[in-house]
Chain A
Amino acid sequence: MLLGATAAAQTGSPPAPEPRTGISGYMEAHYNKPEFEDGRLDFHRFVLLVTHSFSDRLRFVGELELEHAFVEGLEEAGELELEQAYVDFLLDRSFNVRAGMMLMPVGIINERHEPPVFYGVERPFVDTVIVPTTWFEVGAGVHGEVGRGLRYRAFLTAPLNAAEFSAEEGLRDGRQKGAEANAGRLAATGRVELVSIPGLTLGASLWSGKSGFEFRPRFDVNVHVAEADARYARDRLELRGQFAQVWIDNAATLNQALAFRIGVDPNLPSAMRGFYAEGGYRFISGARIGDVGAFARYENFDTQFRMPDGYLPLRAFDRDALVVGATYWPEPDIAIKADVSWVRNRSSVIEAPNSWNLGIGWWF
């Protein structure tokens, strides 16, 4: 055993202790031009990240997001959302406890959504209508890492509200977002991730909850989300793929109850499915002017993949998309993006809108 004091000789980059309280954030502004419509300029997200270390083992992380720049009482314009606000009790590498408002550990984008780290002006369709990002709820759970890069997280949180599901946008409006959320029956979610091979991240996530709490007499609407993803990033190349499927049990009863309540049958499915594959390559990297990369993504998503007995799917909801574009990083934390998105559906009557998009996003 060695005894001795520190001999700390330092040159160059100074040690930068994490400030007890720190502020960071990211922003993204978009121009979207759907076919046959006027373009829209949208300050899509303005996000502030606040962290505080009570001690080495006790941390607070908060993420406050203003969407679409402007908030009104009726929420038509924008939303002010508290996406994360939790306390981490860091006990051991393999076992830590977290409580508060947390991101659901489902999919690539939900937990990793800073604009410079993904290609495309908008997030993938699959991460919008199948996995409802940004997906967050209040709860508590555990997380950690064992061995050479096997990570897990498991949380109990408030469930989704099935009364707000829709045939076009899936689970999206069912998020309770920690707003006096019903927590009669908690949902369970978990993810395992393997990060041991340099550049490669393999992940699988599950979410399961009882979502029919708004109905009287009460009936069960069990919702399950299963997801698997892979991401490989090495030097100039980045590849990613994701598959997600949603099951809604008792969808026929849910449709009848909603039809009775709102007067229209919402035609909710018993299953939704989506997947995508994306490849990107930085053909300029580390140059004085920065980096330039191009990408292509194919997506397939169907919010009426399986229907309950007696219901027929609308073919307009069986969609696929090809998104092709480029990103220019004048510096690693600023991304200027452009892309074209071709969306098709299986309907011969309803056309899916194509669009082109420009965006700038930054992290500070």
Chain B
Amino acid sequence: MVVLRRARLRFTAVALVTLVASLAAPTAQDADDAVRTVRVSAERFTFTPSEIRVPADVPVRIELKSEDTDHGFRIVGTDVDVVIPKRSRGAAVVTVTLAEGEYTFECSQICGAGHAFMRGVIIASAEDGE
């Protein structure tokens, strides 16, 4: 509990996160064209890429698709937590604006024996992300 509260505090103190989670068909490009999009694929038991570099303080759209079962995408210490639908059932989309720093993300839906290995990092930096 203590750990969680500290994470929340850090989050509200340093980050302004706008979260738009929607079930979108992969072709539905409703987001602003100017918004940078990062595509992440999830499968037992890996996110690819597992290291995501984004620019700090600007909105970034993260599009998540699964190759197999339901996975989750949770950014630890934030309110971001969405279900990535099963294969062929579209994508989950979140738009985040992150302050400079490193954020751990992980699968939040039990997806099998190696579920605990499904983690990654978002590095938000002042210099341009990739």
The reply to whether B24 and A12 contact each other, CB–CB distance below 8 Å, is: yes
- Count of interface residues, chain A, beta-carbon cutoff 8 Å: 61
The reply to whether B22 and A13 contact each other, CB–CB distance below 8 Å, is: yes
- In the bound assembly, the distance between CA atoms of A331 and B68 in angstroms comes to 10
Query: Cβ of B35 < 8 Å from any Cβ of A?
Result: no
Q: Indicate which residue in A55, A61, A331 contacts B86 across the interface (CB closer than 8 Å).
A: A331
Residues of A within 8 A of B (CB): 1-18, 22, 24, 26, 49, 51, 55-57, 59, 61, 63, 83-84, 88, 90, 93, 103, 111-114, 116-117, 143, 145, 147-149, 151, 195-199, 201, 233, 285-286, 291, 331-333, 363
The reply to whether A93 and B119 contact each other, CB–CB distance below 8 Å, is: yes
The reply to whether A196 and B49 contact each other, CB–CB distance below 8 Å, is: yes
Residues of B within 8 A of A (CB): 1-4, 7, 11-24, 41, 43-46, 48-51, 57, 66-69, 72, 74, 76-83, 85-89, 92, 99-100, 104, 108-117, 119-121
Given contacts A147-B51, A148-B49, contact A18 B109 (CB under 8 A): yes
3 nearest CB pairs, A to B: A286-B88, A12-B22, A12-B23
Residue numbers in B under 8 Å from A8 (CB-CB): 17-19, 79
Q: Indicate which residue in B43, B79, B82 contacts A6 across the interface (CB closer than 8 Å).
A: B79
Other contacts beyond A13-B83, A56-B7, A114-B69: 7, CB < 8 A: A9-B20, A13-B82, A14-B21, A18-B110, A26-B112, A56-B77, A199-B41
Q: Indicate which residue in A1, A10, A195, A196 contacts B20 across the interface (CB closer than 8 Å).
A: A10
Closest to A49 in B: B110
Q: Indicate which residue in B17, B50, B68, B83 contacts A145 across the interface (CB closer than 8 Å).
A: B50
Closest to A201 in B: B46
The reply to whether B12 and A149 contact each other, CB–CB distance below 8 Å, is: no
Residue numbers in B under 8 Å from A12 (CB-CB): 21-24
Given contacts A11-B21, A55-B4, contact A291 B117 (CB under 8 A): no
